Amino acid sequence: MNCEIFKQNIAELFDESVASGGEQSAIQREMLEHIETCADCKALYEEFCYTMDVLTPSVNAEPSVEFSRRLSERIEKATPKRKSLHRVLYRVGGAVASVAAMFLVVINLLPATPAKASSGYFGKAAAKLNQAQSLFMRISMRTMPAENFDFLDPTAEFVEHTVQRVGEAWRVDKGDRVMFGDGGQWWQWVESWNNGWTGYGVPSVLVDLMVNPQKLMQFEKSLAEADLGVIYETRNEGGLTFVTVTSPALGDWLESNYMYMSSILESDSRREYAFDRRTKELIAASVYVLYGTEEEKVLTVDQIIYNAPIMSADVARLPEGIEFVEPLNANSGARFVGISARQAAVKVFEAMKIWDVEVLREGIPFVDVERLRDDYEGVTILEVKDAVRSGLYVGYFVPMKVQYRNGKSEELMVAMRNDTPSGGWIVDGGI
């Protein structure tokens, strides 16, 4: 056994019989021995375990009785309802695990799974999108114009997004919130809040997929090939081929369904794609979220222009009068290293009680803490439960009951993450 052979055969370790503690084949035994002594392969294996965890729908989509039962159970249990959207998620950074990145791992590591016919359409469309020098798209989604880009609200009106991409530069504008990137750094602002943020990397899964729809096509292709019980239908109409994908919500739902239906990927959904039969290009798409037997259209790609005449200067244009802060810097979370999410949340609330600005600035980097002072100074903790994971969120949610200075008490789900430069915890939302 060596690292090369291990990498080529890693899918073997996710075979049903090994996963359920059954008989191991010779190669599986050798591979398990190998990771005892090889840190690299062990890390790869652990990364893959995590990916499989996130990828494997918690509902096995036999779209039959079991699917509907589990789904309605989950909807019923979907409490507490996320409160006032504005307050819950002010997160601006890469708060959701990079799904696109995780799917790339799957494409590389699951060569032997049966490919569905549909995967061919997605593969060709991905290539066409990749080849385009520039892209212009109009996308409508049920959300709020100021909310963060991943945020889905199936009961809200459609908000139009314009998406532009030329070379490495891209821009997504949803009316009030705008983000652009140059391939390395990104800038994001909400005009009505007069707030701007900047950072590096991929700040939003949905923005990443809007700007790089070829990743969405790769995602669908890998999903088709991974054979996770997703349902595919294809039909031809005029010069178009329609491919419909019905799949359960992605993410971890064992501990909490708090994030269920908070984004498109975290919803049970039906996605409909229209491809030009001659050019193989993706020309439109619609996404419906499913509620048991009901469904609601939540996103449509209304227009895609390949090689549109887009000027880089128009894409990379900053607003006047907005100051940009870089919330995730070396200080973020610095005092919250080496403790649990639960302990970190408690520490933040204790600092609120006595209004220790130094601690709060490190623990709540995404907002100007002075804005929170009226509401939170003097707050006391009544109850804290164990932190839970939910959906695709990279961090944890800490269920808390707190009492404010004015005597009112409230239950909160405080979002905590530690994928910060310091490795310490910060509050990412829920207050």
Of 197, 249, 260, 289, the closest CA to residue 413 belongs to 260
Least distance from C-beta 53 to Zn ion, angstroms?
22
Q: Of residues 340-359, which lie at the interface with Zn ion (CB under 5 A)?
A: none
Q: Please tell me whether residue 3 binds Zn ion under the rule CB under 5 A.
A: yes
Q: Please tell me whether residue 1 binds Zn ion under the rule CB under 5 A.
A: no
Q: Please tell me whether residue 38 binds Zn ion under the rule CB under 5 A.
A: yes
Least distance from C-beta 36 to Zn ion, angstroms?
10
| Nearer of residues 12 and 182 to Zn ion, judged by Cβ | 12
| Nearer of residues 41 and 135 to Zn ion, judged by Cβ | 41
Whose tokens are 């498109």? That residue is 264
| Nearer of residues 6 and 103 to Zn ion, judged by Cβ | 6
What SS3 class is residue 360?
A: helix
Quote the tokens at residue 283: 């020309």
CA dist., res. 261 & res. 153, Å (int): 8
What SS3 class is residue 129?
A: helix
Q: Of residues 294-313, which lie at the interface with Zn ion (CB under 5 A)?
A: none
Quote the tokens at residue 232: 């595919």
Q: Of residues 170-189, which lie at the interface with Zn ion (CB under 5 A)?
A: none
Least distance from C-beta 42 to Zn ion, angstroms?
8
Taking each helix axis from N to C end, the angle separating 99-109 and 213-226, rounded to the nearest 10 degrees, works out to 50
Answer for the pair 232, 116: CB distance below 8 angstroms, yes or no.
yes
| Nearer of residues 41 and 92 to Zn ion, judged by Cβ | 41
Q: Please tell me whether residue 13 binds Zn ion under the rule CB under 5 A.
A: no
Least distance from C-beta 54 to Zn ion, angstroms?
24
Least distance from C-beta 26 to Zn ion, angstroms?
17
| Nearer of residues 2 and 155 to Zn ion, judged by Cβ | 2
Of 88, 280, 97, 318, the closest CA to residue 197 belongs to 318
Amino acid at 298: V
x-or-dash pattern for Zn ion, window 40-59, by CB under 5 A?
-x------------------
CA dist., res. 162 & res. 138, Å (int): 5
Query: Rule CB under 5 A: which residues touch Zn ion?
Result: 3, 38, 41
